Amino acid sequence: MTHEHVVVVTTTDSEDAAQSLAAAAVEARLGACAQIVGPITSVYRWQGAVETDREWRVEVKTAGDRADELVALLTERHGYDVPEVVVSPLVGGHADYLEWLVGETR
């Protein structure tokens, strides 16, 4: 099932990298808006070891039919070998905002 509106989230290792990913998404009209949150602390398992790193989260709001292209763009431009890129549905919101969101991704 494709949701009409989604948030696509990724994390990266620097504020500059986060800004670059956010700008690329919005410039390509694959996202209407992107926010950068950070720094955050991420704890994860990688190559058999538990790692702790400082990261920045990029949250991109987009129309559901743009999500696959946005995931591809973020993955292609990302500096990580296996970047976190996840899509979560928006189940509601301010109607005017959601209409704007779709319009900005056309």
The structural domain count of the chain equals 1
pLDDT confidence of 62, banded at 50, 70, 90? very high
Can you give the three-state secondary structure of 68-99, one letter per residue? HHHHHHHHHHCCCCCCCEEEEECCCCCHHHHH
Residue 54's pLDDT is 98
pLDDT confidence of 81, banded at 50, 70, 90? very high
- Span 33-56, pLDDT tens digits: 999 999 999 999 999 999 999 999
| Residues 64, 69: Cα–Cα separation, whole Å | 10
- Judge whether 106 and 29 are in contact, CB under 8 Å: yes
**In the predicted model, is pLDDT for residue 1 greater than 80?**
no
Residue 91's pLDDT is 94
What is the chain's mean pLDDT, rounded? Answer: 96
The CATH number for 84's domain is: 3.30.70.120
**In the predicted model, is pLDDT for residue 2 greater than 90?**
no
3-state class (DSSP) for residue 40: strand
Predicted TM-score of the model (pTM): 0.94
For 59, the domain range is 5-104
